[in-house]
Amino acid sequence: MKKHFRFLLCLLLFQFTLTAAQTEDLPPGIPVIVMTHSTLSQVKNIVEMYEKDIMPLKSLVLLGIYHEDELADEWEAKAYKAAFAYVEENGLSWVRFRKITGRVDLKDLFRENLWTPQFKEILAAASGIIFTGGADIPPAVYGQGTSLLSEPATPSRSMYEISFLFHLLGGSRNPGFTPLLAGRKDFPILAICLGLQSLNVAAGGDLVQDIPSEVYGQKTVEEVLASTPDQIHSDVYLEKLYPNDEKLIYPFHRIRLGKDSIFLRKMGLSSGDHPFVATFHHQAIGRLGAGVRATAFSMDGKIVEAIEHARFANVLGFQFHPEFYNLYRKGLFLHQKLGAPFDFNPLAFLQANPPTLAFHHAIWKWFSEQVSAQK
């Protein structure tokens, strides 16, 4: 217990000395992208894409936000400490962090609460927000019992992020609430994987708690792996068979783009395009929330792969992962199953399956343009 306490105390002191600044300390005139769950892997995603011009921005401030209770979990605390150290060691002065403080009960998530002033402060400084992937949402938040297959490992994170999304967009759980984006209707938000699910829940929707068992009637890992690749949505199944193999590639599958989607309207894609996407989720959107419409699907039409907001045109959610920086690295080689050679390069795969690479670049070009347009 004493060792655990000392670890947390050292972490908190390190974090305070590294980045105690609030939003008023951000440099003026530079676009600010706010990102949730700003652990090492998430920070590196943005840093790598920015430095490789996947995100074609001339300048940028990345503001990573997190809830103070996330640091109470030792694994999460290590992930944040690694992010803080990475930023300091690499002299990344354009990467900052901001802590959300206080606790809010479930009954108060969908109304003004203790976090409201903090959300307003963050939005006022932001040019765009990315809600990132992560662990399952506690099903009680969307009115369901907890499946034996759900793993709500970061409840504090889910609570504040869902409340933040509700503050931004509103939703059916409190129809009279005036969303913060009512005054900034062109503000860009990307909600990725868990972010998409959180957005849908914030708007009043719910989730399918386990795709293999609830959608496809599968009971074993072997049944999932015997499926067509377009029906496999996570690498967790391979991990169950090979838990010590850290060089397995995450699965890719194709998606169908809706005819009335931003992919066709603004990103140059066509309805006949079926790009491959990197995928890592076992849950999915169930009932759509208020103002949310589905705009991309799995090839069999059973899983929602992208959503847009009817009122706020620059609010998008993706069930897949276009932000993985490993997708854009020439020298990274992984393997697809135990014993296979280390000859799978994700970037080469994207290039070999058009318009997959163009699709990924189009997402980040569009988002960067919307961020740059904010004043």
CB burial string 183-203: b at 16+ within 10 A, e below: ebeebbbbbbbbbbbbbbbbb
Is residue 104 scored above 90 in pLDDT? yes
> How high is the pLDDT of residue 335?
84
DSSP of 80-148: HHHHHHHHHHTT-TTEEEEEE-----GGGTTSS-TTHHHHHHHHHH-SEEEE---SPPPGGGGT----T
- The C-alpha atoms of residue 163 and residue 141 are separated, in whole angstroms, by 10
Q: Would the CA dihedral through 268, 271, 272, 277 be positive or negative?
A: positive
Rounded to 5°, angle at Cα 323 from 88 and 62? 35
Residue 151, Cβ density class (10 Å: 0-12 exposed, 13-18 middle, ≥19 buried): middle
- The C-alpha atoms of residue 353 and residue 356 are separated, in whole angstroms, by 6
Residue closest to 160 by CA, chosen among 208, 125, 118 = 118
* pLDDT over 90 percentage in the chain: 84
Specify the DSSP class assigned to residue 316.
E
Average pLDDT, stretch 341-358?
96
Residue 220, Cβ density class (10 Å: 0-12 exposed, 13-18 middle, ≥19 buried): exposed
> How high is the pLDDT of residue 244?
67
- The C-alpha atoms of residue 225 and residue 336 are separated, in whole angstroms, by 12
> How high is the pLDDT of residue 212?
96
The answer to whether residues 348 and 328 touch, using CB atoms and an 8 Å cutoff, is: no
In a 3-state reduction of DSSP, which class is residue 329?
A: coil
Structural domains in the chain, CATH included, are 31-375 (3.40.50.880)
Other beta carbons within 10 Å of 48: 18
One-letter identity of residue 360? H
Is residue 189 scored above 80 in pLDDT? yes
Residue 292 confidence class, pLDDT cut points 50, 70, 90: very high
Is residue 4 scored above 50 in pLDDT? no
> How high is the pLDDT of residue 173?
98
Phi, psi (5° rounding) for residue 315? Answer: -105, 115
